[in-house]
Chain A
Amino acid sequence: MPEWINVIVRSLTLIVFLFFLVKWLGTKQLSQLNIFETISGIVLGGIAAIHTMDPTTNFGYAIIAMAIWFIVPFGVEKISLKSKAFRDFTEGKSTVFIQDGKIMEDNLKKEGYSTDELLEKLRDNNVYLASDVEFAVLEPSGTLSVLPKRENRPLTAKDLGIKLAPTKEPQTVVMDGKVLLEPLANLSLNTNWLETELDKMNISIENVFLGQVDSDGQLTVDLYDDKIAVAEPVEKPLILATMKKCQADLELFSLSTENSESKEMYERNSKKLQHAIDSITPYLK
């Protein structure tokens, strides 16, 4: 057998073999790999490289070596899923760098971090003043996780006491001008509904590049032709506006009537409606 055929066969076999080994080892990102996994990855690649290039080596040995370099990290990963102590040993523990706003100099020294490196890591997290940090911890993967002090954290709706309507994930129902039936069915809608909604917006389905439906059943579209303006969904703002108008009307009626019974009825309903508006506003935004 000519040597070049040998090289081709070896290469193809190793590519397939390596592909499955990497697949079984898991789909962690490169930066999330611990030292052990990184090294075994490099060694697997190295073995594969040597044995594809050199036809004189024993191909069986290549398979054995790769199998071992696969089985050991694989086993380690499975055991570390079960045992916390083993995990701490193989993957390393995190180190606290800043606690209660105070820098732990001893821990910095232990991990071999200089003050400059700590500041650099803090800047990575958009923190420029070390005193803004309540707590910071160096993860085993080498990234620094930072918890800023309460007043330096971004303001949330919870802080402001604003009630927000919960939303579910939107579904994509039109892609490249074609209707996707499964997402539509997930929302218990059908193509008839979609056609009606598109008719309301005055556009044909062929012109739709992307169409999505949010959890409240509102359709938003992007068209191929960017010159055509698409109407924003108005259903919910319209309801809210009508409610406000009716509330104002009722108040007006209660002021203008002289019949005390009607006056009382208008007032009561106006209050009821105001209460309804307050409670539904977050959902109609």
Chain B
Amino acid sequence: MTVGSQVKGCYSSIKSIEAGLGILAHKTQDAESRQAFVNVEQIISQIKNDLQKQVIELSKQEPQYK
């Protein structure tokens, strides 16, 4: 497994977490819980953006594994 594919795997896990938190934030009846889910979802979204850049960067560096 190349570094590129490892980072890609992590990137997709992060995306799945973001979506899961989004679902929970919609489903919960409690305002405080909803706020907590939304806050963490935002943090995850920032991480996701960083990782996305990294994935693109790595795919440039490792074109042979594309």
Residues of A within 8 A of B (CB): 165-168, 187, 215-217, 235-236, 238-239, 242-243, 245-246, 249-250, 253, 256-257, 262, 265, 268-269, 272-273, 275-276, 279-280, 283
Contacts and interface: CB of A to CB of B under 8 A. Distances in A.
Contacts of B13: 242, 245-246, 249
B14 to A, nearest CB: 6
B10 A249 contact: yes
A283 B43 contact: no
B44 A216 contact: no
A216 B10 contact: no
Nearest to B37: A283
Contacts of B20: 235, 238-239, 242
B29 A168 contact: yes
9 contacts: A167-B30, A215-B30, A216-B27, A235-B23, A249-B9, A256-B3, A273-B47, A276-B43, A283-B37
B53 to A, nearest CB: 8
A195 B49 CA distance: 36
Nearest to A282: B36
B24 A236 contact: yes
Contacts of A269: 46-47, 50-51
A216 B7 CA distance: 32
Contacts of B29: 168, 187, 215-217
Nearest to A215: B29
Interface residues of B, number: 31
Given A165-B33, A253-B10, 12 more contacts: A167-B30, A216-B24, A235-B20, A239-B20, A239-B21, A245-B13, A246-B13, A246-B14, A257-B3, A265-B54, A268-B50, A279-B39
Given A239-B17, A262-B54, A276-B43, A166 B10 contact: no
A276 B36 CA distance: 10
B64 interface: no
B9 to A, nearest CB: 8
Contacts of B56: none
B16 interface: yes
Contacts of A246: 10, 13-14, 17
Nearest to A240: B17
Nearest to B19: A239
B17 A272 contact: no
A264 B47 CA distance: 13
Contacts of A272: 43, 46-47
Nearest to A189: B27
Contacts of A166: 30, 32-33
Nearest to A284: B24
B51 to A, nearest CB: 7
Contacts of B50: 265, 268-269
A275 B30 CA distance: 22
